[in-house]
């Protein structure tokens, strides 16, 4: 009898996505991948759903009787679910194979490269679909070396279709039991466990839905450890448009390997898009063989969250100044906030202790936990990264989740009221109590276009990916001092003294690239660092390089530092970082801005340094001192345009310290002196063909101020992400009233 006789066994290379009913989603996907040039997939064969149906025929009556008990109960009794699962699985695992079928499997097994063990994976017909992933529902077995062991593992794969978690999930997703079948895939092992690397790749950022960056999570050894949460994988970002790696801290693989993986990911994405007739982002498993060092694609499935094109929701704490006790921190999943009473469980056998709406706190989940997970208001784990089981399932179920806290089960008391937040950038946080938060749902399809551009102020690389999803025209202000303070923390001159200039440049360029990459190809303007002397002194090693000033606000800051012999070499490091962002990472949407330029002579000196360092970018200037307005025609030849810093311009025009409570009542950017300067400088820029924008909250806080700026013909506003939608709607209303023509 030949291997393919009777449709019971098929080589993977001979199947594709049109054969899901025969070989299941996983095997169909593997066969599809084998047809693509440049995609290397381990050889293997599929035991088909026909074989499963033939095998199950003698057991059909008994299995259906057990399933009827669940249907009558409505799948609500967890104890009954596990009892039915156990009884069905025992039936399957003790049922013998037909001898002729065993021979088919043996023939196919002998047709593989026998020096390698094999991986045995379940492949259900309702699996790896754009609507639902069924992640980890059925069993997988690695390093299977003999025929008897292979036959045993095939039976166990068959029986895993009836685990409690699998039956519960199918019921939850609306898949009838009589429409679900199972195939088994047998593939040559990729020896990632022997000096190899494995991981997961998403062709979209999993948390924010940002499409510009490809996320790769590698780790030494087998990928099962990542999914099971036993390890925290590294996180690599690759730019979609240039395939340049912008974050590679641990060097599991060289950049060119990640670039190769990303290119394969995009090729797979394009192929699946053609198959499905629409944009499909991909979730891809891969591994590097420890012996041959070859890269293999092990699985590819449609990403199931952002492919649904859900609307954008923004969660935010009402009182940002409120002191909140932090109980644990980890990796965020879901960009949401959840709260409830914490229940700390050591293992799944304690599931009866868990009540609907509680916060699940445990070391790590696996598919057996899913009946509990779907009832949780939030999930917190000690172990795992953003592609572990808990993260995958929580993301698909829409549940707030923080993974890899390390101390969550110890730091969070059972019965405590807690809030789990994933809206604060790169870290997920568990707070004590229920701090007040709100949520704003934004229908991105209904945001009007405007002539006046609405750009964003972005300081944190971690928040850039989410902010880029808002309706915006780029970044009008990205402060480098924010990246320096949070990602470097050391004074640049101190690092130079230690001979560690590259540390400063590399970390600064990495943070900048994440911002520019998130918004690509829209323009991003990075403002060179504008610390005051006291703020520089607070950086590690900074005190020895900074003078003490009575009033740092109007002291040695901005352009005055950049050409000064005492600081010029440090400023050049910022220029080197900018050059790297543009040339190494291919982010030609990068522009720079010079703050606090007091005289045209300073402008000339700084521009010369920037050019001497080979920075080929648009260079803008902050307009925040009356001299910038009065002598605008003398400043502008050195720059592509101005960005009005309304906070500092108000401060320097009215001669008041904006941080002083004693004179804060006088601070008003709508003061006649300030608005006259703004109107004048807009007119000057327009007459010289230069761009002019404004950074500040004024347009979003005061409709009359926004109307004034639009009437003056300002090109853009740059506001914080939390008011981006509000500002866009306000500007649209003003422009409609003024009958402003909006470019198509």
What tens digit of pLDDT does each residue of 564-614 get? 999 999 999 999 999 999 999 999 999 999 999 999 999 999 999 999 999
Question: In the chain, what is the greatest distance between 2 CA atoms, to the nearest angstrom?
Answer: 94
Mean pLDDT of the chain: 88
Instruction: Determine the pLDDT at residue 115.
Output: 73
Instruction: Determine the pLDDT at residue 2.
Output: 42
Tell me the range of 35-49, 157-171, 334-348 where mean pLDDT is highest.
35-49
Please state, for a pLDDT cut of 90, what percent of the chain lies above it: 58
Instruction: Determine the pLDDT at residue 128.
Output: 47
Instruction: Determine the pLDDT at residue 231.
Output: 64
Q: Which residue has the higher pLDDT, 339 or 396?
A: 339
| Residues 378-394 pLDDT 10s | 999 998 887 777 887 78
User: Cα–Cα distance between 365 and 372 in angstroms, integer?
Assistant: 10
Closest CA to 480 of 571, 588, 561: 571
Q: Which fold has domain 197-308?
A: D-amino Acid Aminotransferase; Chain A, domain 1 (3.30.470)
Q: Are 432 and 173 in contact (CB under 8 A)?
A: no
Residue 1 has pLDDT above 50, yes or no: no
The CA-based angle 649-654-660, given to 5 degrees, is: 90
| Residues 663-680 pLDDT 10s | 877 888 889 999 999 999
Report the catalytic residues: 389, 695
Residue 326 has pLDDT above 80, yes or no: yes
Please state, for a pLDDT cut of 70, what percent of the chain lies above it: 94
* Residue 216 CB neighbour total at 10 angstroms: 28
Residue 309 has pLDDT above 60, yes or no: no
Residue 129 has pLDDT above 50, yes or no: no
Domain boundaries defined on the chain: 5-188, 197-308, 327-441, 443-738
pLDDT band with cut points at 50, 70 and 90 for residue 307: low
Q: Are 58 and 30 in contact (CB under 8 A)?
A: no
The two structure tokens encoding residue 691: 């761009």
Per-residue pLDDT, averaged over 682-694, amounts to 96
User: Cα–Cα distance between 459 and 475 in angstroms, integer?
Assistant: 10
Q: Which residue has the higher pLDDT, 443 or 152?
A: 152
- CATH superfamily membership of 5-188: ATP-grasp fold, A domain (3.30.1490.20)
Residue 6 has pLDDT above 80, yes or no: no
Residue 720 has pLDDT above 50, yes or no: yes
Candidates 1.20.140.10, 3.20.20.60, 2.40.50.100, 3.40.1500.10; correct CATH number of 443-738?
Answer: 3.20.20.60
Q: Which strand (E) or helix (H) includes residue 645?
A: strand 641-645
Instruction: Determine the pLDDT at residue 74.
Output: 82
| Residues 218-255 pLDDT 10s | 988 776 666 666 667 788 999 999 999 987 777 889 99
Asked if the 327-441 domain carries CATH number 3.50.30.10, the reply is: yes
User: Cα–Cα distance between 229 and 742 in angstroms, integer?
Assistant: 50
Residue 135 has pLDDT above 60, yes or no: no
Closest CA to 45 of 139, 141, 112: 112
């Amino acid at each position: 009898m030949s291997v393919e006789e009777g449709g019971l066994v098929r080589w993977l290379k001979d199947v594709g996505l049109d054969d899901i009913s025969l070989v299941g989603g996983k095997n169909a996907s593997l066969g599809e991948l084998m047809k693509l040039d440049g995609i290397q997939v381990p050889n293997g064969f599929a035991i088909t759903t026909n074989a499963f149906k033939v095998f199950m025929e003698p057991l059909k009556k008994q299995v259906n009787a057990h399933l009827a008990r669940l249907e009558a109960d409505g799948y609500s009794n967890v104890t009954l679910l596990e009892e039915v699962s156990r009884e069905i699985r025992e039936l399957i695992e003790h049922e013998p194979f037909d001898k002729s079928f065993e021979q088919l499997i043996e023939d196919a097994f002998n047709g593989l490269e026998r020096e390698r063990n094999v991986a045995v994976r379940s492949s259900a017909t309702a699996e790896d679909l754009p609507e639902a992933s069924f992640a980890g529902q059925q069993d997988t077995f690695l390093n299977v070396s003999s025929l008897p062991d292979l036959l045993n593992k095939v039976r166990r794969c068959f029986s895993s279709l009836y685990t409690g978690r699998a039956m519960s999930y199918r019921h939850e997703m609306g898949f009838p039991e009589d429409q679900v079948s199972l195939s088994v895939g047998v593939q040559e092992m990729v020896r990632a466990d022997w000096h190899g690397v494995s991981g997961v790749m998403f062709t979209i950022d999993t948390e924010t839905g940002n499409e510009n960056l490809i996320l790769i999570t590698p780790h030494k050894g087998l990928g099962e450890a990542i999914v099971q949460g036993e390890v925290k994988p590294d996180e690599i970002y690759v730019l979609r448009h240039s395939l340049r790696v912008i974050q590679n801290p641990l060097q599991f693989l060289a950049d060119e390997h990640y670039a190769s993986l990303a290119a394969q990911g995009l090729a797979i994405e394009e192929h699946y898009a053609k198959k499905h007739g629409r944009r499909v982002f991909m979730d891809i498993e891969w591994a590097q063989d420890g012996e041959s060092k070859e890269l293999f694609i092990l699985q590819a499935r449609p990403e199931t969250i952002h492919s649904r094109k859900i609307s954008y929701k923004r969660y935010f704490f009402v009182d940002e100044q409120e002191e909140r006790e932090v109980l644990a921190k980890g990796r965020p999943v879901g960009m949401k906030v959840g709260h409830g009473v914490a229940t700390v469980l050591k293992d799944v056998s304690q599931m009866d202790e868990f009540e609907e709406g509680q916060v699940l706190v445990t070391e790590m989940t696996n598919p057996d936990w899913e009946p509990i997970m779907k009832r949780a208001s939030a999930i917190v784990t000690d172990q795992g990264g953003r592609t572990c089981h808990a993260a995958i399932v929580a993301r698909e179920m829409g549940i707030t989740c923080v993974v890899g806290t390390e101390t969550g089960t110890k730091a969070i008391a059972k019965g405590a009221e807690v809030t789990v937040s994933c809206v604060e950038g790169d870290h997920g946080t568990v707070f004590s109590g229920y701090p007040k938060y709100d949520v704003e749902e934004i229908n991105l399809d209904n945001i009007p276009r405007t002539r006046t551009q609405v750009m964003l102020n972005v300081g944190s690389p971690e928040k850039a990916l989410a902010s880029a999803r808002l309706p915006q025209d780029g970044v009008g202000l990205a402060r480098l001092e924010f990246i320096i303070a949070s990602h470097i923390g050391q004074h640049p001159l101190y690092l130079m003294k230690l001979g560690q200039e590259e540390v400063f440049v590399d970390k600064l360029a990495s943070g900048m690239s994440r911002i520019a990459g998130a918004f690509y190809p829209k323009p991003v303007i990075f403002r060179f660092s504008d610390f005051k002397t006291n703020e520089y002194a607070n950086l590690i090693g900074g005190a020895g390089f900074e003078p003490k000033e009575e009033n740092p606000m109007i002291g040695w800051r901005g352009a005055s530092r950049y050409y000064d012999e005492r600081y010029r070499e440090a400023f050049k490091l910022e220029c080197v970082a900018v050059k790297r962002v543009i040339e190494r990472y291919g982010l030609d949407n990068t522009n720079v801005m010079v703050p606090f330029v007091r005289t045209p002579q300073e402008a000339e000196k700084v521009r010369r340094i920037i050019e001497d360092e080979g920075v080929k970018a648009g260079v803008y200037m902050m307009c925040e001192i009356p001299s910038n307005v009065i002598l605008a025609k003398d400043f502008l030849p050195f720059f592509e345009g101005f960005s009005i810093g309304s906070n500092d311009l108000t401060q320097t025009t009215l001669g008041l310290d904006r941080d002083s409570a004693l004179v804060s009542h006088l601070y008003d950017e709508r003061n006649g002196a300030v608005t006259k300067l703004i109107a004048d400088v807009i007119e000057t820029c327009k007459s010289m063909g230069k761009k002019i924008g404004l950074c500040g909250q004024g347009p979003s806080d005061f409709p009359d101020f926004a109307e004034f700026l639009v009437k003056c013909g300002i090109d853009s506003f740059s506001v914080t992400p939390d008011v981006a939608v509000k500002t866009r709607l306000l500007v649209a209303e003003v422009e409609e009233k003024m009958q402003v023509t909006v470019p198509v």
